Structure 1
Amino acid sequence: MRNRVELADFLRARREALQPEDVGLPRGPRRRTGGLRREEVAALSGISADYYSRIEQQRGPQPSEQVLAGIARGLHLSLDERDHLFRVGGHPAPQRHPRGDHISPGTMRILDRLADTPAQVINRVGETLAQTRPAIALMGDDTRWTGLARSAVYRWFTDPASRAVHPEEDHALHSRVYAAQFRQACGAGVPRALEIREALLARSPEFARVWAEHRVGEGYPGVKRFAHRELGLLELRCQTLVDPEQAQTLLVFTAEPGSESHEKLLLLAAVG
Structure 2
Amino acid sequence: MSELSTVLRAWRDRTRPEEVGLPAVPGRRAPGLRREELATLASISVDYIVRLEQGRARHPSAQTVAALARALRLNDEEVDHLYRVAGLASPNGRLVPHHIGPGVRRMVDRLDDVPLAVFTAAWDIVHHNGLWAAISGDPALRQGVDRNVVWRHFTDDFTGVGYDDRHHEEFGEDLVADLRAAHARYPDDPYLTTLVTRLRARSADFDARWGRATMSVHKASRKVMTTPVGPIAVDCDVLTAPGSDLRIVVYTTVPGSEDEQRLELLRVVGTQTLV
Report the counterpart of residue 216 of structure 1 in structure 2. Answer: 216
> What 5-or-longer segments of structure 1 have no aligned partner?
none
Answer whether contact 1:225 1:234 (CA < 8 A) is retained.
yes
Shift of 1:38: 2.2
Report the counterpart of residue 130 of structure 2 in structure 1. Answer: 133
Report the counterpart of residue 234 of structure 1 in structure 2. Answer: 232
1:28-177 to 2 correspondences below 5 Å: 28-31=25-28, 33-56=30-53, 58-65=54-61, 66-94=63-91, 96-97=93-94, 99-142=96-139, 144-147=142-145, 149-159=146-156, 162-167=157-162, 170=164, 173-177=167-171
**What TM-score do the two structures reach when normalised by structure 1?**
0.80
Change (3 A) 1:204 1:113: same
Shift of 1:224: 2.9
Answer whether contact 2:234 2:251 (CA < 8 A) is retained.
yes
Change (3 A) 1:216 1:8: closer
Report the counterpart of residue 261 of structure 2 in structure 1. Answer: 263
Shift of 1:77: 0.9
The residue type equivalent to 2:89 in the other structure is P
The residue type equivalent to 1:164 in the other structure is T
> What 5-or-longer segments of structure 2 have no aligned partner?
none
Report the counterpart of residue 15 of structure 2 in structure 1. Answer: 18
Change (3 A) 1:54 1:98: closer
Deviating more after overlay: 108-117 vs 202-211: 202-211
| Seq. identity, % | 34
**What TM-score do the two structures reach when normalised by structure 2?**
0.80
The residue type equivalent to 1:76 in the other structure is R
